[in-house]
């Protein structure tokens, strides 16, 4: 038989208002998961214990608080995260061997990331690397070590591929750049350059430094190389 809890009002006590939790870093990163290439490196984490530890620090009187050190406060192993649109269509999938979050820099680091993202037009972008780094809001993502990004093209055009040891993606600007040697392939055309920039809005690849190109088919609109 259920019993009614005692009336706190009779004791002159008011129930404490729930404390509003700060927006966690995972939520901020989740908002950019379905953005453009190489799109996002984050995970939707169960943060119950982590949130309590972060928001209820222990202080000792008379002792100064130690400065933050660069060690992870949360890790995940062999994870797979998917994000879906309101209509149920999958927008992004991120896999990795190990994810680490560093609170001192509010950054994410993923070992062996494997990313698949689907844009609103249905075109798919895939990205892999030995390691990935992302800032707190996911607006900048770096792929390090054997980085490979493949972006499907519309209208029957061949996909455009980027390979190199380092690729830097500016998600909000829809740009990918590298200050290290890179190989860009589209169809049977191959370009090797000392550095490059790719603007997805204009769909133009700009190469810098010493470059070497092989074109075996005429250039087509939709993937311009210069």
Evaluate the CA torsion angle 194, 183, 92, 158 in order and state its sign: positive
Strand 224-225 relative to strand 204-214, pairing = parallel
Per-residue model confidence (pLDDT) at position 179? 93
DSSP conformation letters of 155-192: TTPPPEEEEEEEEEEETTTTEEEESS-EEEEETTEEEE
Of 3.40.50.1010, 2.60.450.10, 3.60.20.10, 1.10.101.10, which CATH number belongs to 72-225?
Answer: 2.60.450.10
Element of type H or E holding 212 = strand 204-214
Q: What percent of the chain has a predicted confidence (pLDDT) above 90?
A: 18
Which of 3-17, 108-122, 174-188, 197-211 shows the lowest per-residue confidence on average (mean pLDDT)? Answer: 3-17
Per-residue model confidence (pLDDT) at position 9? 46
Per-residue model confidence (pLDDT) at position 143? 92
Q: What percent of the chain has a predicted confidence (pLDDT) above 70?
A: 64
Q: Are 92 and 83 in contact (CB under 8 A)?
A: yes
Helix, strand, coil fractions of the chain, as percent rounded to 5: 10, 45, 50
Element of type H or E holding 81 = strand 74-84
Mean pLDDT, the chain, integer: 72
pLDDT tens for residues 60-102?
A: 445 555 566 788 888 889 988 787 888 888 887 888 999 898 9
Q: Does pLDDT of 112 surpass 90?
A: yes
Element of type H or E holding 74 = strand 74-84
What is the C-alpha separation between 126 and 198, in angstroms, rounded? 16
pLDDT tens for residues 17-28?
A: 455 555 444 444
Strand 114-118 relative to strand 107-111, pairing = unpaired
Per-residue model confidence (pLDDT) at position 140? 81
Per-residue model confidence (pLDDT) at position 47? 31
Chain position carrying tokens 């890790």: 75
Per-residue model confidence (pLDDT) at position 165? 95
Per-residue model confidence (pLDDT) at position 43? 31
pLDDT tens for residues 184-220?
A: 898 889 999 999 998 877 878 899 999 898 987 555 5
Q: Where are the domains of the chain?
A: 72-225
């Amino acid at each position: 038989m259920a019993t009614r809890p005692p009336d706190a009002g009779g004791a002159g006590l008011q129930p404490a208002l729930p404390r509003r939790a700060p927006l966690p870093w995972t939520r901020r990163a989740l908002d950019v998961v379905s953005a453009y290439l190489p799109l996002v490196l984050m995970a939707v984490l169960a943060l119950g214990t982590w949130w309590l530890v972060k928001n209820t620090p222990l202080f000792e009187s008379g002792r100064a608080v130690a400065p933050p050190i660069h060690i992870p406060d949360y890790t995940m192993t062999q994870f797979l995260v998917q994000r879906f649109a309101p209509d149920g269509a999958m927008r992004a999938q991120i896999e990795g061997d190990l994810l680490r979050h560093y609170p001192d820099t509010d950054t994410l680091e993923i070992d062996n990331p494997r990313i698949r993202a689907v844009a609103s037009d249905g075109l798919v972008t895939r990205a892999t690397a030995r390691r990935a780094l992302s800032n707190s809001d996911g607006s900048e993502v770096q792929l390090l070590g054997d980085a490979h990004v493949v972006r499907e093209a519309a209208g029957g055009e061949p996909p455009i591929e980027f390979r190199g040891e380092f690729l830097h993606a500016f998600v909000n600007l829809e740009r990918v750049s590298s200050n290290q040697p890179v190989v860009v392939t589209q169809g049977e055309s191959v370009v090797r350059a000392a550095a490059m920039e790719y603007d997805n809005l204009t769909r133009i690849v700009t190469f810098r430094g010493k470059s070497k190109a092989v074109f075996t088919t005429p250039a087509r609109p939709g993937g311009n190389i210069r």
